[in-house]
Structure formats: C-alpha cells, structure tokens
Structure 1
Amino acid sequence: MNEVQDIQNQVQATITGIDHLTLPVHDLDLAERFYTQVLGAKVVFRTERTGRMPFIAITIGNSPSIDLFLQPWGQPAINQVNPHLAFAVRGEDLLDLKQRLIAYHVPVAGPIRFGTPGHGSLYFHDPSGNHLELCAKDFVGEVNLEPYDMEKLSYQWQG
C-alpha cells in the first residue's frame, strides 16, 4: 500500500455538504436591502460594521448561508459568465420572480435554457455586480436558447 491509501483506510471522515458561501459586496446596507427585500433572504448573523472583516450572513430557503463581506473587489467582470450563484426555484414561480425583479428595477435576462429540457433560468446581478441566477428545473414556459448580453444587466441599484 502507498501512503495515500494508508491514510484513506485510516481516516473514515467524510465531507457532509456545503456550510456557507461568501460574496464580496461594495456596501453592506445596500446588499442587505437587496437580498432581503428583492430575494426574500433572512439575516441570521452580522458582525460589527467597524470590525476587521464586516459581514452579514443570510439564508434563502433551505440553502447554506451566504456571507456578504464588505470588499470592493473580487466581483466578476460584467461580461464574464462565471462565477455565478444559482438559486433553486419552482418552475411555476419563475415568471412571478421575474416580475418581482423588474418591479425593483433590476435588469433581468430570461427565461433562458442552457441545460436540459424543462430547465429555465433568469440571470441578473446584485448591486455589487455579483452574477446571480434563478434556476427552475421544472419550467414549462417558453425559453430563449440564445446567449444573453451580460452588459445589459449592469445597473446602479439604490434600493
């Protein structure tokens, strides 16, 4: 046996899932309003704003928490598709969620299908420029099969 196999045989620990994700944001107050008001997130923890690494932890549905860290860099370029964070939604809710984004003056592309039949997604950005997706794997409505113009999703949201 080699050393790696010895360690694998001795250590029976396993990774059980994702605990949290982090996103850099330019403005914590604006990010909190966007994620709670527009996306329905709940704040589960916050650090002092004057601390060394100020952040807000949010949850959306049954997903791992998302820690929104005050950091003015690290967001993807406007024309860069990845990385992005995709939230699972029900197909029957996708068009209503699109209308909600529009009502909050958030530019949105979709429904678009890049995946398997029955898949529909909406693409948009948070106020800091992080790329987000609402993904329904059971969407029965019409979808666009063509790529969208990422630059049309750029905006200044004031909440």
Structure 2
Amino acid sequence: MIKGLYEAHLPVSNLLNSIKFYKKLGLKIAYQKEKLVFFWIEKGHSWLGLWETDKVKIPYHPSIRHIAFKIDFENLKQAKEWLEKKGIPVRTSFRFSPEKQPLVLPNNPQAHGAIYFEDPDGNSLELITPLRLDFEEDFEMMTLDEWFNRGKVH
C-alpha cells in the first residue's frame, strides 16, 4: 500500500528568504500562497512544504525540523563543494567537523553516506545515499574517505 514519502514540512521565519535558499538547492516551486510554499523534490513523487510561522522557534531535535534529501552516490562525493559554491556551509555533525564530511553512518545492517547543513532558520538538512543495504557488520561512524581506505565498496 505505502509507496513512499510524498510530503514533509518545515517551519520558516521568512518565506521569501527561504524560497531563495531552497531554489539554490535546485528545488522548483509547485504551489505558493502568502505564508506557504511547496517545492517539488521530485515532481509528482515528493514535495516539501515551508510554512512561515513563529513555530520556527521550537528548538531543533532530530525528530522535528529535519529533512534528508536522497542523492546518488556519485553526487555525494561532490556534495560539500556543491554546497560551498552556493554559499551554504556544511555544519559539524556527530562531532565531525565540516572538513571531515561526508560521513558514513553505521545504521546496521545498512550503511549510508551523508553530509549535513542548515537552512536560514536552522532547520537541519541532509544529503544522503545508501552505501550498503542488508549487510550485517558493526563499525563506528567514519568519514567517507575512511570508508574507502578500509576497502568498503559501494
């Protein structure tokens, strides 16, 4: 029955500033009203709603105010440079500084490559790709470079 995730929502303090930011990420507006905009993530498959509201003051926690955008593995290798060219800084995550990212997340039996940044309101954003699915192996979180140096394969 469930085929995927169609929509997710984030609070923002200034809709026009947020529209500029998410356009820099390559998202296209699907629908807009005075205090709301929907961006296509993948047209016809998923979109992101941004709501201008004072709820943006809710402190960040991973269970709220977080979106992970799926990318291809090849794009992960270029993600930090791509973000920086757009003036979007990578943020420290899991005690790994921006210089150490992208990271490999040990979600055993999965492994994912990811890089983290924020929108203008401090909403947590992530670019993520699966590296390995359904393979049992315990390991500590590491950089993508360390993953390759250990002989891990995509």
Alignment TM class, shorter chain as reference: 0.5 to 0.7
Q: What is the TM-score with the length of structure 2 in the denominator?
A: 0.68
Cα gap change, 1:17 to 1:138, in 2 (>3 Å): closer
CA distance in 2, matches of 1:143, 1:72: 41
CA distance in 2, matches of 1:76, 1:99: 30
Q: Give the deviation of 1:75 after TM superposition.
A: 5.6
Structure (1 or 2) with the greater strand fraction: 2
Query: What stretches of structure 2 of length at least 5 have no aligned partner?
Result: 91-97, 133-143, 148-154
Q: Give the deviation of 1:33 after TM superposition.
A: 0.9
Other structure's SS at 1:105 match: coil
- How many residues in Structure 1 have an aligned counterpart in Structure 2? 124
CA distance in 2, matches of 1:60, 1:19: 9
Q: In the alignment, is the contact (CA less than 8 A) between 2:11 and 2:56 conserved in 1?
A: yes
Residues 33-64 of structure 1: CA distance to partner in whole angstroms, max 9, x if unpaired? 11111x110101101x2xxxx20110123542
Q: Give the deviation of 1:18 after TM superposition.
A: 3.6
Aligned: 1:136 with 2:136: no
Aligned: 1:61 with 2:48: no
Cα gap change, 1:76 to 1:89, in 2 (>3 Å): farther
Query: What stretches of structure 1 of length at least 5 have no aligned partner?
Result: 1-13, 145-159
The structure with the largest alpha-carbon Rg is 1
Tell me how large the CA RMSD over aligned residues is.
Answer: 2.7
Give the one of 30, 38, 59 matched to 1:44: 30
Residues 2-34 of structure 1: CA distance to partner in whole angstroms, max 9, x if unpaired? xxxxxxxxxxxx656543221111111111111
Q: What is the TM-score with the length of structure 1 in the denominator?
A: 0.66
CA distance in 2, matches of 1:42, 1:60: 8
CA distance in 2, matches of 1:40, 1:143: 30
Aligned: 1:73 with 2:55: yes
